[in-house]
Structure formats: C-alpha cells, structure tokens
C-alpha cells in the first residue's frame, strides 16, 4: 500500500498514547513523509514515556495535552491539521457499566466535540476507530460506540462540497493491545489457572499493524460516510487460551453482564448496503445526502441475509497461525 497521500500532511491522533496510537505513530514516522504528527491525549505521563520510547522523534512529533470532552482545547489542537484519527475512548466494559455517564461524556459527547472542532478548523478527513461491539450492542460500551459511529457518518451532511470527510473503521479484538486477552492470560497463567466465560465463545482477531493499515486505507479511500470492515479471522476463546497457556487449567466462570457469546462486524441490515472487496468490506450510507455511489460500483454486493459474525466467519484462525502471529508481537 502506498501512503504518498500523507506526504507533507499534518495528522492528529486523539488517544494517541494508547496501543493503537503508539503503533500508528511509529508507522507514520517510519513509512511516510508526513510533515507533522500530533498526539492528543490527557495523560502527560504516558506522553512522556512515549516520547522517551521513540528512538528518533525528530521535529515532526508534537504532544498536546487535552481531553476530547473539551471542545475549545480540541479546536486549538486542530488548527492547521489535515487529517484526524479519532481513537480516544473509554473502553473497559465492566467499568463502564458502573460508570455509564462517564462513558457517554467521552465516547459520545467527546466524539461530537471532535466533529465540531474538525468542521470549524477545516480538517480535510477524519476517521473514527470503532469496534465490533458497536454492531447490535449488548453493553454500554458498544452502545456508545454505535452512537459515535452514527454521529460520525451523519456529520457528512454538514460538511458541504469541500468540507471534512468523515468515515469509520470497525474491527475486533487486537492482539497484544493494552488490556487485551493476551495480556490477561499472561497474568493469569502464573497461578496455573485461566478463567473462561463460555467454552463456545468466539471472537474476531486482528493485529495492531492490520488495524493501523485499515485506518490509513480508510483515510485515503473515504468519500465521506463509509464504515470500513476488515476481513479478519475468528477463533474460539477456549482454543486461543489453550495455545497461549496449554499447561493451565480452565475455570468456567459464566458469561458476564453485557458480554456476547459471539461478536458481529456486519449485521444483516447493514449487509444490504455493503460492498465487498478483496481484503475488506465497505458499509455505505443510506442517507439522501450521500451521492458517492459511483465510487463503489466495482465492489461486490452481498447476498440476502449475509451476516459477518465470529461464529460463522469463513476465516477461522488455527493454532499454528495463531502461534505465528504471536511470535510477531
């Protein structure tokens, strides 16, 4: 993939000190000629660690302390920015069930603040990083991400002919990210026992590199209003654990509140206006303002009743492929 479109551009990443943000920044530094890369986040300690960890930040990196709840701070940060990647969010499902208003303030209202700042500051393109939990959500986190997706997509109606193009990406569990299953298993295996909620539970899996690649592809290809979905494999959580901790006993603890047995990336309703490409799908808007259909005529329409869920996904991850992926972390 060529990322020449990023040459001499200024890119800002909200939540830039998270797992995705750190990988994205490294990719931009190593593989693009971006003019400036701005990390926008609220944790100055993480920013300091990130700045120290980068071997050669040069003069292209900027660190901006701020919260997506603060519209004025966002507007100040967005001045002169060409592209925004909106990855800031509260994500821990159990914590958000007990602190629902905090999730709403950051994930929903914070996203609206990002949209308003992008429109006012003349940002050219913005890509929102969503999750499979936004499709038919079963918990508050998924519901806030669904709301944020809808805000992002509908915001294209306010852009005008030459305004900001807004799009989203949606993907599943990320190997090795902060708080991921890999990290939890590593911590639990010390005791010789790993917890499992249900023996048949399945999840989608993606690497950080693949996630970054999807976001940058969406940033390049968007015409405003799409949700980009990667073609990624699924695997039973039980099998996943047995590869990482084969010596451990499994303790079945039952499905937790707000947790699904299987996740969904494309619902049957969305499939009716989705196009398929070699490595990804594109969910197209259904709004009257969207007039970019001619850009997706080469995509394949999906059959009636199609659903992309982790249980029936044709791409299944086997033990050997999982071991190969883990060696790359």
pLDDT of residue 191: 92
Average model confidence (pLDDT) for the chain? 92
Could you give the CA distance from residue 134 to residue 171 in angstroms, rounded to a whole number? Answer: 10
Q: Which two structure tokens, joined as six digits, stand for 280?
A: 């990804």
The residue written with tokens 């990719």 in the block is: 27
Active-site position among 9, 91, 133, 223: 133
Q: For the residues of 120-143, what is the DSSP string, one character each?
A: HHT-SEEEEEEEGGGSS--SHHHH
**Across the strands, what pairs with 282?**
228, 275
Residue range 118-139, pLDDT digits in tens: 999 999 999 999 999 999 999 9
Strands 125-131 and 165-171: parallel
* DSSP-based three-state secondary structure for 271: helix
pLDDT of residue 3: 84
| pLDDT of 176 over the 90 cut | no
Could you give the CA distance from residue 189 to residue 196 in angstroms, rounded to a whole number? Answer: 12
Residue range 94-105, pLDDT digits in tens: 899 899 999 999
Could you give the CA distance from residue 116 to residue 61 in angstroms, rounded to a whole number? Answer: 24
- 88, 24 contact by CB (below 8 A): no
**H-type alpha helices, 224-313:** 237-244, 268-271
Residue range 158-167, pLDDT digits in tens: 987 779 999 9
Q: Considering only the top CATH level, what class is 4-172+206-231+264-307?
A: alpha beta
Closest CA to 114 of 150, 156, 93, 85: 85
| pLDDT of 56 over the 80 cut | no
Q: How far apart are the first and last CA of the chain?
A: 21
- 226, 283 contact by CB (below 8 A): yes
36 is catalytic: no
pLDDT of residue 179: 66
Give the pLDDT mean for 265-294: 90
- Residues above pLDDT 90, as percent of the chain: 78
Q: How far is CA 255 from CA 195, 196, 235, in A?
A: 11, 9, 17
The lowest-confidence range among 37-41, 221-225, 253-257 is 253-257
| pLDDT of 226 over the 90 cut | yes
Q: How far is CA 125 from CA 118, 129, 215, 287, in A?
A: 8, 13, 12, 19
Tell me the torsion sign for CA atoms 107, 23, 95, 43: negative
- 141, 103 contact by CB (below 8 A): yes
- 219, 190 contact by CB (below 8 A): no
59, burial (CB in 10 Å: exposed 0-12, middle 13-18, buried 19+): exposed
Residue range 197-208, pLDDT digits in tens: 999 999 999 999
- 244, 214 contact by CB (below 8 A): no
Q: Which two structure tokens, joined as six digits, stand for 116?
A: 């308003």
């Amino acid at each position: 993939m060529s990322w020449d479109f990023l040459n001499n551009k200024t890119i800002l990443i909200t939540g830039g000190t998270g797992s995705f943000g750190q990988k994205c920044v490294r990719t931009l530094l190593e593989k693009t000629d971006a003019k400036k890369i701005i990390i926008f986040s609220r944790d100055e300690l993480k920013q300091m660690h990130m700045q120290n960890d980068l071997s050669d930040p040069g003069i292209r990196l900027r660190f901006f302390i701020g919260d997506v709840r603060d519209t004025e701070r966002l507007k100040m940060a967005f001045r002169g920015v060409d592209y925004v990647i909106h990855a800031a969010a509260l994500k821990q499902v159990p914590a958000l069930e007990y602190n629902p208003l905090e999730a709403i303030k950051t994930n929903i209202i914070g996203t609206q603040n990002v949209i308003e700042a992008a429109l006012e500051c003349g940002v050219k393109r913005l890509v929102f990083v969503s999750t499979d939990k936004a499709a038919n959500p079963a918990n508050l986190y998924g519901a806030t991400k669904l709301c944020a997706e809808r805000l992002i997509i509908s915001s294209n109606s306010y852009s005008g002919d030459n305004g900001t193009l807004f799009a989203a990406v949606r993907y599943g569990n990320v190997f090795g990210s902060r708080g991921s299953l890999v990290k939890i298993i590593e911590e639990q295996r010390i005791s010789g026992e790993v917890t499992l909620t249900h023996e048949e539970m399945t999840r989608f899996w993606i690497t950080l590199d693949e996630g970054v690649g999807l976001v940058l592809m969406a940033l390049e290809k968007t015409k405003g209003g799409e949700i980009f979905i990667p073609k990624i494999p699924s695997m039973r959580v039980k099998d996943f654990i047995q590869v990482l901790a084969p010596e451990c006993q499994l303790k079945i603890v039952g499905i937790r509140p707000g947790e699904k047995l299987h996740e969904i990336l494309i619902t049957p309703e969305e499939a009716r206006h989705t196009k398929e490409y070699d490595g990804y799908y594109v969910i197209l808007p259904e709004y009257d303002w969207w007039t970019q259909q001619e850009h997706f005529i080469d995509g394949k329409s999906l059959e009636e009743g199609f659903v992309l869920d982790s249980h029936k996904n044709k791409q299944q991850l086997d033990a050997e492929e999982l071991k190969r992926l883990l060696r790359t972390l």
